[in-house]
Amino acid sequence: MKKRIFAVVVFVIMTMTVLGIGQEILKAKYVQDSTAIVNGFYAEKKNDIEVLFLGSSNCFCTIDPLVLYEEYGIAACNFASSSQSMDISLLYLKEALKRQKPKVVALEVNYIPGQNVTALGENSILWGLTDMPFTLDKLKCLYQLLGKIDEEYISYAFPLLRYHERWKEISKQDYIYMTEDKTNWNKGYMRTHQISDAPVDLSAYEQEGSAWLDERAVACLNEMAEICEKKGITFLLFKSPKADWYQYFSSEIEKVSGEKGLAFIDYNALVQEVGLDVATDFRDSYHLNEQGAAKVSTHMGAYLKENFELTDRRMDEEHNSWDAALAYQERLRLTEDAFSNVSTVTECKEMLDNKEDYVTILTYKGGKDKIQYQWIYVKGEPVYTKVWEDDGISHKKIEDLEVVFVRERKILNVFIEGESYYEPQKNWSVIVYDMKIGEVVAQLGFDE
């Protein structure tokens, strides 16, 4: 009997392990969104964060924790997801407090007005919950979102079921992601230099009208406030600047926040004070770019420093993860700045000659003979050359870096660690991989 019980236990453990690994491989990975944010948060040192930000993309495109740290020494982190409903924000707060003891929790309030809640759908749940750990709070959140337990509920709870047909599109990245370093060097912020095609129109803010607050959203807000109060955490509300947000939205939120004794910062009303430029500081009508986020983050940092007793972590005796993140970002900035004035492939190659830690991949689309060429350079010296006359695949490993060249229908592609980097429509293209930080830091195209 003991042997049978032991065998059953071993079988169950092995089955669960195999299913768990299969689920990790098959489930979608929103590496430019919630996957990076959630896994990055769980990679943070326990009880190391003093200010936690929650909310939707309006949150992670507005608050840059590294600006808060660099200017004020505030140890902050974004724990957000695209289209994050209030039910999911509540879940994120509960899960975050199992690992961290923040002094301040700041919630971006985009999804409290009922007019915004109606836009929520499947993607909100997938982005928000796919990478969250399997807990009773997650199951409760799912029930609140769906209102029933059925096949859809089960598939959200167990991503293996929802993504079981994704095996047709899995790549090397899906296999290796489990073992990769999950450190988020942006501390949950989504960095972008993109500028809106046209100046963002914020004039609608002053329009008159009426708003209704979603009953479920307000209930979640109240529960979040109660959780924070019990744990001695200051709960703060803020609204990022965006088009299609109205003063009457803010007025209704001020009423609710006033009833709970919560401070509310409305950045739509502070556009001039913050110094935002609607022509250059927005990625699109609803999100700030890096330049705009720096301005709002500076203002937020000054408010936090003035109103709360927060530790200046820049004074730490040893380097912390914010110091490491700043060093990482500085290396990226230096690389971006270095390439900004390069106009020919020769200038680019000369600049990279003898540079440490860089792998450079050159592609020449070909002249009249239609023969195409690709090279890999390390410290200015060619370590691999590929001459293409026919379609095919070619592999090369540089230390632990795997590079794959592919030519299909005379179109060249480069895969680096399983990720595709399509060639710019120029005669020459240059891809620069930084071995030190493990990322492609430049992808350039030149006519000559």
Q: What would the pLDDT profile of 328-369 be if each residue is shown by its tens digit?
A: 888 777 676 777 777 888 877 777 776 777 888 888 877 666
Judge if 239 and 91 occupy the same domain.
yes
Q: Is residue 305 part of a domain?
A: yes
Burial letters 131-154, b for 16+ CB under 10 A, else e: bbeeeebbeebbebbeeeeeeebe
Judge if 307 and 392 occupy the same domain.
no
Q: Is residue 330 part of a domain?
A: no
Low-confidence ranges of the chain (pLDDT < 70): 2, 5-33, 115-120, 160-179, 334, 336, 354, 367-369, 422-425
Q: What would the pLDDT profile of 252-311 be if each residue is shown by its tens digit?
A: 999 999 999 999 999 999 999 999 999 999 999 999 999 999 999 999 999 999 999 999
Judge if 89 and 208 occupy the same domain.
yes
CA-based torsion, 156, 160, 165, 170: positive or negative? positive
Residue located via tokens 């990076």: 36
Kind and range of the H or E element at 358?
A: strand 358-364
Decide which of 323, 351, 382 is a domain's last residue: 323
Note down the domain range covering 429: 342-446
Judge if 185 and 230 occupy the same domain.
yes
Judge if 349 and 310 occupy the same domain.
no
For the domain that residue 223 is a member of, what is the CATH number?
3.40.50.1110
Beta bridge partners of 413: 406, 422
Judge if 208 and 59 occupy the same domain.
yes
pTM of the model: 0.77
Decide which of 267, 296, 323 is a domain's last residue: 323
Beta bridge partners of 361: 376, 431
Maximum Cα–Cα distance for the chain, whole Å? 78
